[in-house]
Amino acid sequence: MKLGLILLISITGILLSISLPHAYSELVSGNKYLLQATGFVAGTQTIQNSEIDLQFSTGSSNNGNTPVTLENGLVSISGNNYLNSGIWTSTILRDGMFLVVTGDAQNSIGDTIQLNLFGRLVGNSEDGSVYYFTGKITGTTESLKVIYSAKIASTTVSNITPPPTQTPPTQTPPIQVKTAQISILQGASDFKTGQFLSPSSVQVNPGSTVVWTNNDSVPHRILSGYLSTTTQGQKGSATPQSNTPSFQPDGKIDSGAIVPGQTFQFTISGTGTTSFYDPSYTWINGVISSISQTSAQTKPIQVTILPGASQSQGGASQQNQNYYNHYYLPADLQIVPGTTIVWTNNDSVPHRILSGISTQKPQNPFMPDGKIDSGAIVPGQTFQFTINDVGIIRYYDPTYTWMNGVIVSIPLSSSHIIGAPSHNTGLH
Question: What's the whole-model pTM score?
Answer: 0.48
Distance CA 349, CA 23 (A): 56
Write out the H or E segment, with its range, that includes residue 128: strand 128-138
Residue 131: is its pLDDT beyond 50? yes
Confidence (pLDDT) at 407: 84
Instruction: Report, at the CATH architecture level, how domain 2-154 is classified.
Output: Beta Barrel (2.40)
Distances in Å between the Cα of 262 and the Cα atoms of 220, 253, 258 are 10, 17, 6
Backbone angles phi, psi at 159, to 5 degrees: -100, 5
pLDDT higher than threshold 50 for residue 164: no
Identify the band that residue 135 occupies on the pLDDT scale cut at 50, 70 and 90.
very high
Of 185-199, 221-235, 253-267, highest mean pLDDT = 253-267
Task: Give 37's pLDDT tier (boundaries 50, 70, 90).
Answer: confident
Local structure of residue 65 (DSSP, 8 states): B
Q: Which residue would you say has higher pLDDT here, 170 or 356?
A: 356
The identity of residue 33, as a single letter, is: Y
Q: What is the CATH number of domain 179-290?
A: 2.60.40.420
Report the range of poorest mean pLDDT among 182-196, 262-276, 351-365, 413-427: 413-427
| Distances, alpha carbon 264 to alpha carbons 163, 185, 209, 213, in Å | 52, 14, 10, 7
How far is residue 249's CA from residue 257's CA, in Å, rounded to a whole number? 16
DSSP 157-199: -------TT-------PPP---EEEEEE-TTTTSGGG---EES
For 427, the 3-state DSSP assignment is helix
Going by C-alpha positions, the residue among 206, 257, 199, 249 that lies closest to residue 224 is 249
| Residue 387 confidence (pLDDT) | 84
> Cα dist. 351→333, 341, 346, 379, 392 in Å?
19, 16, 10, 8, 22
Question: Is a pLDDT exceeding 60 seen at residue 174?
Answer: no
d(CA 128, CA 124): 6
The least confident of 7-11, 212-216, 290-294, 385-389 is 7-11
Least confident of 19-33, 68-82, 161-175: 161-175
Q: Average pLDDT in the 38-65 region?
A: 85
Query: Looking at domain 301-427, what is its CATH homologous superfamily?
Result: Cupredoxins -  blue copper proteins (2.60.40.420)
Query: Does pLDDT of 268 surpass 90?
Result: no
Q: Domains of the chain: which residue ranges?
A: 2-154, 179-290, 301-427
Q: How confident is the model at residue 175 (pLDDT cuts 50, 70, 90)?
A: very low
Q: What size, in residues, is the chain?
A: 428
Instruction: Determine the pLDDT at residue 352.
Output: 95
179-290 shares the fold of 2-154 = no
pLDDT at 2 over 60: no
Mean residue pLDDT across the chain: 75
* Mean pLDDT calculated for residue range 208-229: 86
Q: What is the pLDDT of residue 272?
A: 62
Mean pLDDT computed over 28-46: 84
d(CA 357, CA 335): 19
Question: How many angstroms separate the first and last alpha carbons of the chain?
Answer: 40
User: What does the pLDDT read at residue 169?
Assistant: 41
**pLDDT interval class at 95 (50, 70, 90):** confident
**For residues 157-169, average pLDDT:** 40
**pLDDT above 90 for 110:** no
Percentage of the residues of the chain whose pLDDT score is greater than 70: 72
- At residue 325, the pLDDT reads 55
Mean pLDDT of 309-320: 54
pLDDT of residue 166: 40
Q: Does residue 262 register a pLDDT over 90?
A: yes
DSSP conformation letters of 238-303? S-GGGS-EEEEEEEEEEEEEE-TT-EEEEE--S-EEEEEE-SSSTT-EEEEEE--------PPEEE
- DSSP states of 346-366 as a string? -SSS-B--EEEEE---SSS-E
* Residues linked to residue 149 through DSSP beta bridges, in sequence order: 38, 132
Lowest mean pLDDT among 45-59, 200-214, 316-330: 316-330
| 115/105 Cα distance (integer angstroms) | 8
